[in-house]
Structures are given as structure tokens and as C-alpha cells.
Structure 1
Amino acid sequence: MKILFATSEAHPLIKTGGLGDVSGSLPNALAALKHSLRLVLPAYGAIMERLPVGSSPKKIASIMVEGCERNLVAHILELNAGSIKGLDVPIWLVQIPELFERAGNPYIAEDGMDWWDNGERFAVFSKVVVELAMDRAELNWRADAVHVNDWQTGLVPALLHLEENAPVSVFTVHNMAYPGSFPKSLFEQLGLPWTLWHTEGVEYWGHFSMLKAGLMFADWVSTVSPTYAKEICYPEYGYGLEGVLLKRAAQHRLVGILNGIDETVWNPEKDPLIHRNYSASKGRVVGKQHNKQALLNEMCLIIGQDDCVIQPKMASWLERPLVGFVGRLVEQKGVDLILTILPEMLAQSTANFVIVGSGDRLFEAALLELAAAHPNRIWVYIGYSEALAHQVEAGADLFLMPSRFEPCGLNQMYSLAYGTPPIVHHTGGLADTVVNATDEHLKNGTATGFVFYDPSRHALKSTLLHALHLFTKKRTWQALQKTGMQQNFGWQSSAKHYAKLYAEKL
């Protein structure tokens, strides 16, 4: 099949979160099944600046598209398959300088606020995707299926719904918390068909919701884990759209397909970003200890603690359990829970902590304050570093992931692959991927991590203390590590499931 995969980010071109990881690996897995893929995303200024030497894109088409009471020209730039390391499919970049060539990340300006024109930016991008899917750019490549992701491309299924002989549309929701909701005036200014404006269409309490557009009109709605597909049908996770989701579920058009991980990128046996490679069967214990020391050295140097890399201080640290966290410093990720238990954990255990991430300024400041007060127990890096993310997975003994909700989550799967048992809240994809280290699961050899069932500080603290207790039982701990590393979270199975959706139309 010919599959057009539309997204607002894709690693390694540009990434702000899990969507970037998924969009950079699922197309490769589909191509490996012998489908013809085109990956399409905006030509952000950041992408164009970072393109490697010798991979200059070629302009293959130009499309006139209506923006907000103005006409815009979209140039389609093509990068050949393999010209970007890690992406095995042709890439189409939609170049509209007025909308995408600016500083900042894809959604947020340098002042931390959403771009004022995000609605126009991604509505216009969606219009271009439809033109490409229907081959009106005259590229002699008409899609059999269009796979779109999150609200930024939610308008695509709605517009395809108006086309004759439209390709199958699949709309994947990576996080219901981001609705892509805008004033009705945006709908008017974009010149969109009024046949879409009703309660069974894109209208949501008088506003224009691009998320609802995708949910209502896609042939298939998918989410990124089976448990999250059930959770979003309830008010707690549906954000007011649970009625729409219940309707799609009743039509048997809502499915949960667990995300995979790119095993060529997240593989401790071959990872070039960690200091010593290892596998489940070879060098695991020595390899993790070596990476632990390298991670602590790196964190000390980053924060200017030049004296802490020397013995005997390092020897003492290597004996202690090291607990890692990588992610956005926001309430959804349970960072407030981590902050409330850290002082008690420092007093009641020998554990040390390394935290990498950015987000809420109050959380950032509180973590930095704790790190300053306990310079030999807590290391904090504010920001994102792909190399540090890999090094934390390889060097930490435990990985904290106490998310209040987590549609799928990838870090817990990375942690399992790297022999770093995760501590997770029983929600979404975390519930689908981590087997709790109960006595029964430890005895039958199925345990892979630690699960708590109430998103409270008490549940997190007791679970972490239980994990630290098991850490002292080396044979049990090594069996737990090995079981986690032997799990298969590659994309092959999920890609086949998506291909089955593409082949079936309403």
C-alpha cells in the first residue's frame, strides 16, 4: 500500500516528546513490511538549519493553499530515503516560510507561550496533506491510506471525508490533554466548508476543535496503548470528548495499539551514546556499573562539581542505588510526588537521584534547590539532552515514572531494555508494559518492575522503598533485570496491526 504518514515532529529531524520518537520509527517498521511510505511534516526553520551537509532537499512541487484570509504557497521538498540517518523512508517537507520558518520549538515561542497562530499553521499544513494524499500536487503518488497524529493533523480526516474515493484515514491520539481548540473565527477565516460545522462535526462548545475533527471523521481512531483506549472513554481522561470516543468504540472504530521502540536506537548492546555496551546475556552487571560511574562523572562536570569525580567519594556512590528520571517536569509526570518524597527518601535510604528534564518553572526551581542542599545525593540537569537520556537509562539502577496518566510512555520500555527496572503508576501504557514485582511474579519469573496503584506520595514512597529493599538482594535483582531486558517491545507487531487497519475501510 501507499501510506502517507503526517506528523508535526519526527526524530531525528525534530522532537519535543514521544510523538517524535513514534513518527521517527513507525514509518520505518511499515516500510520494512514492503509498504510504500512518505513521511510528511512542516519544514521548520530548525529542521532546515540542522540538515546534514550533502542532504539538501529537492523541490518537487508547489501548492497554492488558503490560509486565514490569504493565499499561501507551499513548496514540497523531498529528502530521499536514507539521506537522514535513522529514517528509511522518503521525507516530504512542507515549506511555508510565513508559518514555519521561525525560532523556537514547533509549538512554543521563545517566551514559553504557544505561537499565536498555531491554529492557522497546522490547519494549513493539514490542507496541504490532503492535497498530497489526493495527488493534486501531480507527483504521481496517490495514497491508499493516510495516517495522521494528534490535533495538529486532526483536520485531515475531516477534509478527506468530503472527498470522493478518499484514502483510508487513521487518526492516532497520543495525548487527549491537548485539544487543539480555537475560536470559531479561525474556522471562518480559513474558508473551511460549513458542512463540517455542527455538533457531530468540528464544533465543540462553540469552538473549533481539531482534535474532535480527527475523532469524528477518521475511518479509524487509534490510541497508543490498549489501556489508554479504555481510559479515554471516561471523563477523567476524555477531557469532555468521552461521548465521542464511546460512540467510536461502539462502532468498533476505536483501537489501542501499543507503541513500540526503535531497537536500533534504544539498544544497550549497540548504543553509541553510552560508555560501555552490554546485553542481557553478556556484561550486564559490569556494563551498568561502568555506565553508572560515567553518568555520575558527567553530571558532576555539567554542574561544576569538579571535586566529586575523585575517589573515595565515587566508590561510595557506586555502592548506593541510583534512581533516575528523564521527562517533562510537570504535574502529569508526577514530579510533584517526587518532590514531596525526596527529603524523606534522603533521610530513610542511601539512594541517590539523577533528574534530567525541563518544564514547570516552580518544579525546576524546587529541584535545583534540593540539589544545591544535597550536592552529594541529587544531581539535576534542566533541559533536554538525548545523550544524557540514554546515559541515565544505562547508568541508573531504577527509573522513576510516577505519571498520573500516560497514554503509552516510552521511557519505561527503554528502562526495561537497559536493565533499569521502572517504578510506574498503573495507568495507560505503563499498566500494559510493566509486570509488578510481587512475590508471585518474582517466583514465576515474570516480574519486570514496580507498580503502584494510587497516584499518591505514600504509594510512590512505599513502592520505591520496596524496590530499594529488593536491590539489596542481588540474585533476585539480577533476575528481575534480565527478565525486563528479554521483553520484546519492537515495532513489528504494532506495524502489522496498523497495516491491517489501512487495508479495511468503513
Structure 2
Amino acid sequence: MTIRVLHVASELYPLLKTGGLADVTGALPLALVERGADVRVLLPGFPPVVAGLADLKPVARLAHPFHAHASGDEAWLEQGTLEATGVTVYVIRAPSLFDRPGNPYMDDEHVPYGDNAPRFALLGWTAAQLAQRIDPLWAPQIVHAHDWHAGLAPAYLRAAERERGRALAKSVFTVHNLAYQGIFPAQSFYQLGLPHDFFTMHGAEFYGQLSFLKTGLFFSDRLTTVSPSYAREIQTLSQGCGLDGLLRQRTHELSGILNGVDYAVWNPATDTTIAARYTPSRLTKKRDCKTALQARLGLAQHGDALLFGVVSRLTEQKGLDLLLAAVPEIVRRGGQLAVLGTGDPALEAGLLRAAHAHPESVALERGFDEALAHSIISGSDVVAVPSRFEPCGLTQMYALAYGSLPLVHRVGGLADTVVDASLENLADDLATGFVFERFEPEAIAAAIRRAFALYARRTDWRTTQQRAMRQDFGWGASAERYMALYRELAG
């Protein structure tokens, strides 16, 4: 039996990307299609989404139960095709809610839009409408919602089932990052057309406010998160973000399924965005990528300098404050640092000061540029992902594929994917990067020293690079786990 699955999310690579969520929703549906599922994706009608879809055609008018947009504005559902993969995409056209330039979540001052509650409630409500056959030609058996933006989908589905007196579809809710919860004032709830009894401690209410994320966690049939270690960590007081009690109650319905890498996009042998293509057996060409990156960022053209790369949001969660404190040690040892990202103004300012103080050794490019991200991953010797916590992390898996050894904190998906270059792991042919245990300056400094020490032993370094590049974190195994979950739910 072919299982019909609707993925509900706010981003989809290559149409719209602000982080790893887009990479997942871009690659996972295709991996599921390859395993026989009938998969479609539902997205808000942000301008890049609408512009990037082919063959858009109307499906239905959306007479939704709340009125966030101006009188006379309409919302409607359209269907198109993502040409890169052939996946069918539903898009919600509501111009006053979604047709805004720039970031999909916040304005030019980095302030979240004041109407984000109804904007993303419409996403969840429309998912439930699709389960009720608003498209007469297709309805999902599984509604798979991603992160807080889609958190109300399971609740709207549960409400519709109550009203109709029968089951419509099963729901899966995936937490990509528990720290981002979609919190809104309590009065927002009563504008969204959900049953009033859903707003309780055993429901959508979270310390007197509305939490989209908690709503998804409570009302979905099954929960997943993006790595096995993170599934354990979020059930603890220290990493549960106030939701660890609920997650422990649902521990038998929670699965940690590691995200995968789309090797059609992230493959140094075929990547047309980098200076030179290379493979584990032809690693000399990687040096050309390093030279090109140094030239692009104005770093000194020292081929032997150990180059650390960062592609990240510049936030404390990502541990960039810890790395910033280690910059003097990197520079003192003759290393270099290339950073691409934007975020916390204090971190940006600190990195800019380091770049001004050491222009030949430190470079910061603010913003996000997909091609430059590939250049940093390919041109760096080490890719640093020193996160305080990390649900999965894709950057370290991209780095492995490119032979750029990851330097990571042992948390979440970082712990699940990188093996430290300790003497015993090197001897046992296991090492793929550098791992520090404690989130402390001394611990990251020790990992940085290990990186310099291994880099000085060029044969061992090359062997470790080749081992890293042979790791397989493709979507195959993860897609099989999702398929098993869907089959279980579909009965």
C-alpha cells in the first residue's frame, strides 16, 4: 500500500532557506518518494516559494476561521511542482500574511512580525483541511509537521476529528530545535478557531501563554527529533526548555531519527560551486579550494596555515562566544579563521574586532550566501561547530563529506556523528574529527591544540580526512525509519 504523507513546514531548499530545516524538508520527501511513498509538501506563500514553483494551479479557496488579514483579502491554496525534484508542493496564497520582502519571520529590525500567530496558524489549519479533502484528488494519511511553525497542525486535525466523529489522518511532529517554541500571548489562542478546552496545561497553554511547539508535542500521535542523543537530552531538566516533563511522559512515543545529508548537493566530487572538485583519492585538489577561499576573504595566502571555518547563525547556542575567546590561540599558532553568518550583534562585533586586529588571519562575512558556505566547507581544514546544544547539526556532516575535519562539542547530533581523534581512536581507524566534552574555554582550547598536533602529522591527517569522507550519513537509513513509523501509524 502506498502511504500518502503531507510534510508541513515553513521552508524548503532550494526555494527558501534560513537554516537546516530547509535542507531537511528539501531532501527527506524525495528520499521517501524513492521508497514508494506518495509525498507532498505544504508551505506558506512566501515570495521565493511562489516564484520557484512550476505549473502553479488553484486548488481551493481557504475560508479560514480567523481573520488576521485586512477585510477583502482572500487566502487560497495552490499546487505546483518543485522542478529540481518533481515533488508536489501546496502553497498558501495569502498576500497580506506572506507576501513580505526579506526574512519570513521578522522585519528588517530583526523583530518578529506581530501577526506571526495567525500567519503560522493558517499553515497548521490548512494542513488539517487537506486531511479533510479540500483537494478532492488527494488527502494525506500522515500529516508530518516540522517545528513550531507547523505546531498547530496536529491540534487542528484533532479538532476536526472531534467535530466529524471519525479519524482523518495520523500526525507526526518533528522537533528540529526545542529552544524555538513559538510563544504568543494567551489571547492569541482565542482568535485561532481551536476548541477553548485545548488551552489548558494539558494542551496548548505554557506558563499562561500559547506555545505552538508545546501544542504540537501534546496533540500529535507520534513525536520525533533529529538525532538519538537529542531525543534523550530534551527529556532532561537542563535541555528540556520547560517541556521535559511532557517529553518524559511521551518517551515511548518519541523517536530520535538522525537527519541526513543530500549528497546530490553536498559532494566535493560534483560540487560546481567550489574552486576544484576532489575525492578521497584525489585530495590534492582540496588545496585549490583553500587557496581560493583565502583569496575570496582576504586572508594571507599561506597554504600551510591551519584554516578553521564556521558557517553558522552567530548565537550563543552555537557556541561562537567560546570560539571567539579561542581566536588568540588560533592566531598565535599560525592558524586562520573564516566565518560566515549573522546574528547576535555582540558576537558580530567581537568577530569584527578580531578581523580588524588580525586581517590576514581572521575574516567575517556577515549574512548568508549558499555558494560561500560551500566554499568555506570545502576550503577549510577544520570546520568548527562548538554548540552549547545541537539537535542534529548538518554542518559537521557536510564537513565530513568534504574532508574538513569537524571540531565539535559532544552534544546531540554532534556526538552521534563525529569521533574524536584521540590516540586510541586514531589507532583503531575510528577518528573523524575533534570532540570536546565540557563547554569550557579550556576544553575547546585542548581540542584546538589536538587539531594543530594532528595537522603537523600530515600522513595521519590525510588518513583521517579520507576516513571522514567515507562516512555515510545519507538519507537512506533515516528515510527507512520514517517509513516504518508511517506504516505503523497507518495500520
TM-score normalised to the size of structure 2?
Answer: 0.95
1:342-421 equivalent positions in 2, closer than 5 A? 342-347=327-332, 349-421=333-405
1:353 is paired with a residue of what secondary structure?
strand
One-letter identity of the residue aligned with 2:186 = K
From 195, 198, 207, the equivalent of 1:196 is 198
Q: Please, what is the CA RMSD of the aligned residues?
A: 1.5
The 1:138–1:337 alpha-carbon spacing in structure 2 relative to 1, beyond 3 Å, is: closer
Give, in whole Å, the separation in 1 of the partners of 2:343 and 2:384.
17
One-letter identity of the residue aligned with 2:456 = T
1:206 matched to 2:208: yes
From 135, 151, 157, the equivalent of 1:138 is 135
One-letter identity of the residue aligned with 1:145 = I
Given that 2:404 and 2:465 are in contact with CA atoms closer than 8 Å, whether structure 1 keeps it comes out as: yes
1:455-470 equivalent positions in 2, closer than 5 A? 455-470=439-454
User: What residue is the counterpart of 1:153 in the other structure?
Assistant: 150
One-letter identity of the residue aligned with 2:286 = K
User: What residue is the counterpart of 1:177 in the other structure?
Assistant: 179
Q: Residues 280-325 of structure 1, C-alpha deviation per residue, up to 9 Å, x if partnerless? A: 12x11x111011011111112xxxxxxx7xxxx62xx112111111
1:56 Cα offset (Å):
5.0
1:427 matched to 2:414: no
One-letter identity of the residue aligned with 1:355 = V
User: What residue is the counterpart of 2:32 in the other structure?
Assistant: 30
2:359 is paired with a residue of what secondary structure?
coil
1:245 matched to 2:247: yes
Give, in whole Å, the separation in 1 of the partners of 2:331 and 2:270.
34
One-letter identity of the residue aligned with 1:480 = T
1:446 matched to 2:430: yes
Given that 1:169 and 1:502 are in contact with CA atoms closer than 8 Å, whether structure 2 keeps it comes out as: no
Q: Which runs of 4+ in 1 moved over 6 A?
A: 69-72
Give, in whole Å, the separation in 2 of the partners of 1:168 and 1:294.
50
Give, in whole Å, the separation in 2 of the partners of 1:11 and 1:69.
28
Counting matched residue pairs gives 481
1:63 Cα offset (Å):
1.9
1:134 Cα offset (Å):
2.1
User: What residue is the counterpart of 2:296 in the other structure?
Assistant: 298
1:479 matched to 2:451: no
Give, in whole Å, the separation in 2 of the partners of 1:195 and 1:339.
48
Given that 1:333 and 1:402 are in contact with CA atoms closer than 8 Å, whether structure 2 keeps it comes out as: yes
One-letter identity of the residue aligned with 1:196 = F
Give, in whole Å, the separation in 1 of the partners of 2:264 and 2:390.
24
Given that 1:436 and 1:449 are in contact with CA atoms closer than 8 Å, whether structure 2 keeps it comes out as: yes
1:377 Cα offset (Å):
0.8
1:345 Cα offset (Å):
2.5
Given that 1:68 and 1:186 are in contact with CA atoms closer than 8 Å, whether structure 2 keeps it comes out as: no
User: What residue is the counterpart of 1:10 in the other structure?
Assistant: 12
Given that 2:8 and 2:123 are in contact with CA atoms closer than 8 Å, whether structure 1 keeps it comes out as: no
Structure 2 residue runs without a partner (length 5+): none
Q: Residues 371-416 of structure 1, C-alpha deviation per residue, up to 9 Å, x if partnerless? A: 1111111111111110011011111111111100000000000000
Give, in whole Å, the separation in 1 of the partners of 2:263 and 2:274.
15
1:255 matched to 2:247: no
Give, in whole Å, the separation in 2 of the partners of 1:3 and 1:345.
48
Identity rate of aligned residues, in percent? 41
User: What residue is the counterpart of 1:165 in the other structure?
Assistant: 167
1:111 Cα offset (Å):
1.1
Give, in whole Å, the separation in 1 of the partners of 2:355 and 2:76.
48
User: What residue is the counterpart of 1:304 in the other structure?
Assistant: none
Give, in whole Å, the separation in 2 of the partners of 1:134 and 1:481.
51
Give, in whole Å, the separation in 1 of the partners of 2:436 and 2:320.
15
Give, in whole Å, the separation in 2 of the partners of 1:324 and 1:168.
42
Give, in whole Å, the separation in 2 of the partners of 1:5 and 1:192.
21
TM-score normalised to the size of structure 1?
Answer: 0.92
One-letter identity of the residue aligned with 1:298 = R
From 296, 316, 323, the equivalent of 1:331 is 316
From 90, 93, 100, the equivalent of 1:92 is 90
1:268 matched to 2:268: yes
Deviates more, 1:231-240 or 1:160-169: 160-169
One-letter identity of the residue aligned with 2:276 = R
Give, in whole Å, the separation in 1 of the partners of 2:13 and 2:186.
33
Give, in whole Å, the separation in 2 of the partners of 1:394 and 1:132.
42
User: What residue is the counterpart of 2:325 in the other structure?
Assistant: 340
Give, in whole Å, the separation in 2 of the partners of 1:191 and 1:264.
42
1:34 Cα offset (Å):
1.6
Q: Residues 70-123 of structure 1, C-alpha deviation per residue, up to 9 Å, x if partnerless? A: 78632222222x52x2x3311111111121011221111111110111111101
Structure 1 residue runs without a partner (length 5+): 301-307
Given that 1:30 and 1:37 are in contact with CA atoms closer than 8 Å, whether structure 2 keeps it comes out as: yes
User: What residue is the counterpart of 1:303 in the other structure?
Assistant: none
One-letter identity of the residue aligned with 1:19 = L
